[in-house]
Chain A
Amino acid sequence: MTDQYTRQSFLGSKSAELLQNATIAIVGLGGGGSHVAQQLAHVGIGRVLLFDPDRLELSNLNRLIGGTAADVGARAEKVEIARRMFVAINPAAEVHTYAVQWQLAADALREADVVISCLDSYAARQDLEVSVRRFLTPLIDIGMDVHLVNEQPHMTGQVILSVPGGPCFRCLGFLTDENLRQEAELYGAAGGRPQVVWSNGVLASVAVGLVVELLTGWQRRRFRAEYLHFDANEHVITHSPRLEYAPKQCTHFAADFVGEPVL
Chain B
Amino acid sequence: MIRLRMLTTLVEAMRADLRRPHPFAYERIGFLCCKQSRVPSGYLLLGYRYVAIEDDRYLRDKSVGARFDATAIRTGMQLALTEEASVFHVHIHEHAGLPRMSRVDAREMQQLMPCFVNVCPERLHGALVMSVDQAYARVWGTALDTSGVDVSRITSVGDGIKVLS
Contacts and interface: CB of A to CB of B under 8 A. Distances in A.
Nearest to A165: B7
Interface string A126-143: 000000000111100000
B38 A138 contact: no
Contact of B160 (A137, A215, A260): A215
A107 B40 contact: yes
Interface of A: 18, 21-22, 96, 107-108, 110-111, 113-114, 135-138, 163-165, 213-215, 217, 221-224, 256, 258-260, 262
A136 B41 contact: no
A250 B84 CA distance: 26
B157 A136 contact: yes
A136 B44 CA distance: 11
A223 B161 CA distance: 11
Nearest first, the 10 A-B pairs at minimum CB distance are A259-B35, A258-B48, A222-B159, A217-B160, A111-B39, A136-B5, A110-B39, A214-B160, A259-B46, A258-B46
Contact of A114 (B6, B153, B158, B161): B161
B161 A260 contact: no
Contacts of B19: none
A259 B48 contact: yes
A136 B3 contact: no
A260 B35 contact: yes
Interface of B: 3, 5-7, 9, 34-41, 44, 46, 48-49, 84, 153, 155, 157-163
Given A21-B163, A224-B159, 10 more contacts: A22-B161, A107-B38, A107-B39, A108-B40, A110-B37, A110-B44, A136-B6, A214-B161, A223-B160, A262-B84
Contacts of A215: 160-161
Contact of B158 (A108, A163, A213): A163
A131 to B, nearest CB: 12
A18 B34 CA distance: 24
Contact of A18 (B3, B9, B163): B163
Nearest to A213: B160
Contacts of A114: 161
Given A114-B161, A165-B158, A223-B159, A107 B37 contact: yes
A135 B161 contact: no
B83 to A, nearest CB: 10
20 contacts: A21-B153, A22-B161, A107-B39, A111-B40, A113-B161, A135-B46, A136-B5, A136-B46, A163-B157, A163-B158, A213-B160, A215-B160, A215-B161, A217-B160, A217-B162, A258-B35, A258-B46, A259-B34, A259-B35, A260-B37
Contacts of A223: 159-160
Given A215-B160, A223-B159, A262-B84, A111 B7 contact: no
Contacts of B40: 96, 107-108, 111
Contacts of A222: 159
Contact of A135 (B9, B41, B44, B84): B44
A113 B48 contact: no
Given A108-B40, A262-B84, A138 B35 contact: no
Contacts of A138: 157, 161
Nearest to B85: A259
B48 A111 contact: no
Contact of A256 (B41, B48, B162): B48
A110 B41 CA distance: 10
Contact of A111 (B41, B46, B49, B157): B41
Contacts of A163: 157-158
Contacts of A262: 84
A164 B7 contact: yes
Contacts of A107: 37-40
Nearest to B9: A165
A259 B160 CA distance: 20
Contacts of B157: 136-138, 163-165
